[in-house]
Amino acid sequence: MQDGEALTEWQAASSDEERPANSREKGLNRALHILEFLHATQRAIGIGELAKGLNAPRSTTYTLVRELVGAGLLEMAGDGNRVYFGKKLYLYGMAYMRGNDLLRRGRQEVDTLSRETGETSELCMLQSGRYTIVHSSPGTRPFRISSATGLQIPLPWTASGRLLLAGLDRNRIEAMISRDDLVLPDGRKIDLDDFIDDIAKARVTGYCVTSGLVDAYTKCLAAPVFSAPGKIEATMCLVVPIDTSDERTGELVALLRDRAARLSIP
Amino acid sequence: MQDGEALTEWQAASSDEERPANSREKGLNRALHILEFLHATQRAIGIGELAKGLNAPRSTTYTLVRELVGAGLLEMAGDGNRVYFGKKLYLYGMAYMRGNDLLRRGRQEVDTLSRETGETSELCMLQSGRYTIVHSSPGTRPFRISSATGLQIPLPWTASGRLLLAGLDRNRIEAMISRDDLVLPDGRKIDLDDFIDDIAKARVTGYCVTSGLVDAYTKCLAAPVFSAPGKIEATMCLVVPIDTSDERTGELVALLRDRAARLSIP
DNA sequence: AACGATTGTCTCTTACAAGAGACGTATGTA
DNA sequence: TACATACGTCTCTTGTAAGAGACAATCGTT
């Protein structure tokens, strides 16, 4: 009957200031939590379940869902009493993309890069303190390594994470990394100092390669995209089999850095 | 100094029930209005301007924008005091797309169709009582007719509109069409009865062609996409030069109907 | 048929957010 | 230098929406 897995998440994410108690919540916040929750579950969910998952009062949840459905941000899913994201969100999202040069061009670059190399390619950004895959294009390998857009992963697990944090001072980095983030899926633990060293190293070399972190079979190559001199706004990355030769890896890194540089503003 | 152009819009759109007065507004509603407003303006906008545009109190608007920015639904735009849609909306939008077969497959069909024919192709749906371009792929003509995703147009102006309303009875149709919707951009007025006849005709023939409605240079071909027997969920359409020969038009309609049928469920 | 669990709607209370407005600052322009 | 507008933050009040809980209707299970 316990829940609260998703709770801690956004509670911390959105400017973790005060927590007076657990009295009345503002409707808007509840609504935002609903959206986050759906984003986490990635599928339609019953309203009762939703209320339980957010531990929000049932009556309130019904009201809010009704309003959000009315506004088109949510839709009732096929069978009748489940809800998921609505068309409006798609439209808003497309509007965001249209207004965002980096994203629009980045998506294209990623698509062509994965077509050219045959490897899985991704565009990544920092989103509320977490590493986020903003766009990904699967490679052409028989067993391709693919990951969904919008997926959020702890920063220390990835090569991109190391680049995205380059330029931040130690305090800010520590603030962004939780204890759990340093534990890899297979149970190994990353040393915080090593991680911070990696970040510094990535900062000067201008790229980053990690091997067998999220899983044992892949290597991750990343290069920074700058939105202003020194400001890393995003990364482009390639996910390749871990047994890729050093030579090919080198070639891919060079290509990747070139494309990422093309995306950069200054 | 007048504003309120956008006001009427959503006021009517979202279940136009009560209007007690103009007393206090719920925060969530205000937030939804902000999103709608940004969707209408299609560009970043100052907070003051936003408050004026929605005629919402300034202090409230500041608070809400701060919360929405914090949640990532909005972002402060480049220069500093303007806001627009945020990354979160993009991520939610992509999640919607992933979970929506029709949309995902529809986008692909539209892209290939426009590549094959060289004409502008679109996927359209009914969204809160209005005709909405959900995805569009520009043709390869030198002067191509393109329109943005998310654009909303009065139903009577389009071929798709006639199909999307097929299956609804006269009362429901009348309820969806406002006086202004019947007036074309060039000032001509469409007769409501003619429009309803067109709908009935489109329903039986299974496609619809209109000429020179939104502008004088284009013809619009549309075919229905069914989500269940008799239920039209969307339309695929082609926008071609008005002087396209009858023969080619016929070919295109046949192709279009085929592709739309492929998208349909039953 | 009797049971518990879940769903959707409704009513009523009160804690609290929406809003009015004052304030200090940063503009631009006469 | 004054003047008029816009910006961003703060305080205080009160109208109202969040929430507790009761209710009837459906389930699936024994």
Record: contact B90-A93, CB cut-off 8 A: yes
Cα distances (angstroms) measured from residue A191 to each of A180, A210, A231: 12, 15, 26
Record: contact A97-B103, CB cut-off 8 A: no
The pLDDT tens digits of the residues spanning B207-227 come to 999 998 988 889 999 999 998
Strand order in the sheet with A130-137: A152-153, A130-137, A120-127, A231-241, A218-228, A208-211
Q: Which residues contact B46 (CB under 8 A, 6 or more apart)?
A: B81, B82, B83
Cα distances (angstroms) measured from residue B135 to each of B6, B84, B105: 23, 21, 11
Strand C closer than 7 A to residue B24 Cβ: yes
Q: How confident is the model at residue B11 (pLDDT cuts 50, 70, 90)?
A: very low
Residue B243 distance to chain A (closest CA, Å): 32
**In chain A, how many H helices and how many E strands?**
10, 9
Strands B218-228 and B231-241, bridge-based pairing: antiparallel
| B5 against B177, higher pLDDT | B177
Record: contact A87-B134, CB cut-off 8 A: yes
Weakest mean pLDDT among A27-31, A213-217, B69-73: A213-217
Q: How far is CA B121 from the centre of its chain?
A: 14
Q: Judge contact between B92 and A86, C-beta under 8 A.
A: no
Residue with tokens 């000067």: A204
Record: contact A89-B86, CB cut-off 8 A: no
Residue A87 CA to D24 C1' — how many Å? 34
Record: contact B87-A94, CB cut-off 8 A: no
Query: What token pair was written down for B230?
Result: 């008799």
Distance from C-alpha of B217 to C-alpha of B245, rounded to nearest angstrom: 14
Q: What nucleotide is nearest A66 when CA is compared to C1'?
A: C8
Distance from C-alpha of B153 to C-alpha of B134, rounded to nearest angstrom: 12
Cβ neighbours of B70 in A, within 8 Å = 14-15
Distance from C-alpha of A88 to C-alpha of A73, rounded to nearest angstrom: 5
Query: What token pair was written down for A82?
Result: 């489940």
- Mean pLDDT of chain A, nearest integer: 87
Give the chain A residue whose CA is nearest to the CA of B93. Answer: A90
Residue B162 CA to C2 C1' — how many Å? 55
Ordered DSSP codes for chain B: ----HHHHHHHHHTT------S-PPPHHHHHHHHHHHHHHH-S-EEHHHHHHHTT--HHHHHHHHHHHHHHTSEEE-TTSSEEEE-HHHHHHHHHHHHT-HHHHHHHHHHHHHHHHH-SEEEEEEEETTEEEEEEEE--SSSS-----TT-EE-GGGSHHHHHHTTTS-HHHHHHH--TGGGB-TTS-B--HHHHHHHHHHHHHHS-EEEESSSSTTEEEEEEEEEEETTEEEEEEEEEEETT--HHHHHHHHHHHHHHHHHH---
Strand C closer than 7 A to residue A49 Cβ: yes
Does position B40 have pLDDT exceeding 60, yes or no? yes
Cβ neighbours of A25 in B, within 8 Å = none
Nearest to B94 among A29, A72, A149 (CB): A149
Q: What is the pLDDT of residue B146?
A: 62
Q: What is the pLDDT of residue B12?
A: 35
Q: How confident is the model at residue B144 (pLDDT cuts 50, 70, 90)?
A: low
Q: How far is CA B144 from the centre of its chain?
A: 20
Q: List phi, psi (to 5°) of B176.
A: -85, -20
Query: What token pair was written down for B237?
Result: 């359409």
Residue with tokens 């043709």: B139
Q: What nucleotide is nearest B30 when CA is compared to C1'?
A: C18
Q: Is A184 left (phi over 0), alpha (psi -120 to 50) or beta?
A: beta
Distance from C-alpha of B37 to C-alpha of A143, rounded to nearest angstrom: 45
Percent of chain A with pLDDT over 70: 89
Query: What token pair was written down for B136?
Result: 């569009």
pTM over 0.85: yes
Q: How confident is the model at residue A216 (pLDDT cuts 50, 70, 90)?
A: confident
Q: What is the pLDDT of residue A4?
A: 32
Distance from C-alpha of B61 to C-alpha of B43, rounded to nearest angstrom: 18
> Within chain A, where are the H helices?
5-13, 27-41, 47-53, 58-71, 87-98, 101-117, 159-164, 170-176, 192-205, 246-263
Does position A134 have pLDDT exceeding 60, yes or no? yes
Q: Which residues contact A159 (CB under 8 A, 6 or more apart)?
A: A202, A208, A209, A210, A220, A221, A222, A235, A237
Comparing CA positions, the residue from A137, A127, A151 lying closest to residue A234 is A127
Mean pLDDT on B9-19: 36
Distance from C-alpha of A80 to C-alpha of A102, rounded to nearest angstrom: 39
Distance from C-alpha of B9 to C-alpha of B56, rounded to nearest angstrom: 16
Strand D closer than 7 A to residue B70 Cβ: no
Percent of chain B with pLDDT over 90: 68
Cβ neighbours of A106 in B, within 8 Å = none
Mean pLDDT on A238-263: 95
Give the chain A residue whose CA is nearest to the CA of B74. Answer: A96
Cβ neighbours of A27 in B, within 8 Å = 26-28
Does position A142 have pLDDT exceeding 70, yes or no? no
Which contiguous run of DSSP H or E holds residue A134?
A: strand A130-137
Strand C closer than 7 A to residue A170 Cβ: no
Q: How confident is the model at residue A152 (pLDDT cuts 50, 70, 90)?
A: confident
Nearest to A39 among B32, B95, B134 (CB): B95
Q: Judge contact between A219 and A242, C-beta under 8 A.
A: yes
Percent of chain A with pLDDT over 90: 67
Comparing CA positions, the residue from A197, A196, A223, A195 lying closest to residue A209 is A223
Record: contact B90-A90, CB cut-off 8 A: no
Does position A10 have pLDDT exceeding 90, yes or no? no
Q: Judge contact between A242 and A216, C-beta under 8 A.
A: yes
Q: What is the pLDDT of residue A18?
A: 37
CB pairs under 8 A between A and B: 138
Does position B20 have pLDDT exceeding 60, yes or no? no
Q: What nucleotide is nearest B62 when CA is compared to C1'?
A: D8
Does position B143 have pLDDT exceeding 70, yes or no? no
> Which of A15, A45, A90 to probe by mutation at the B interface, max B CB count within 10 Å?
A90
Comparing CA positions, the residue from A213, A216, A229, B62 lying closest to residue A237 is A213
Q: What is the pLDDT of residue A141?
A: 78
Record: contact B42-A95, CB cut-off 8 A: yes
Q: What is the pLDDT of residue B203?
A: 93
Q: What is the pLDDT of residue B217?
A: 87
Residue positions counted in chain B: 266
> Which of B41, B69, B90, B149 to probe by mutation at the A interface, max A CB count within 10 Å?
B90
Question: In terms of C-beta density within 10 A (0-12 exposed, 13-18 middle, 19 or more buried), how is residue A220 classed?
Answer: buried
Comparing CA positions, the residue from A91, A259, A232 lying closest to residue A159 is A232
The pLDDT tens digits of the residues spanning A17-71 come to 333 445 688 999 999 999 999 999 989 999 999 999 998 999 999 999 999 999 9
Q: Judge contact between B35 and B71, C-beta under 8 A.
A: no
Strand C closer than 7 A to residue B30 Cβ: yes
Q: Which residues contact B112 (CB under 8 A, 6 or more apart)?
A: none
Q: What is the pLDDT of residue A145?
A: 61
Cβ neighbours of B134 in A, within 8 Å = 87, 90-91
The pLDDT tens digits of the residues spanning A221-248 come to 999 999 888 889 999 999 999 999 999 9
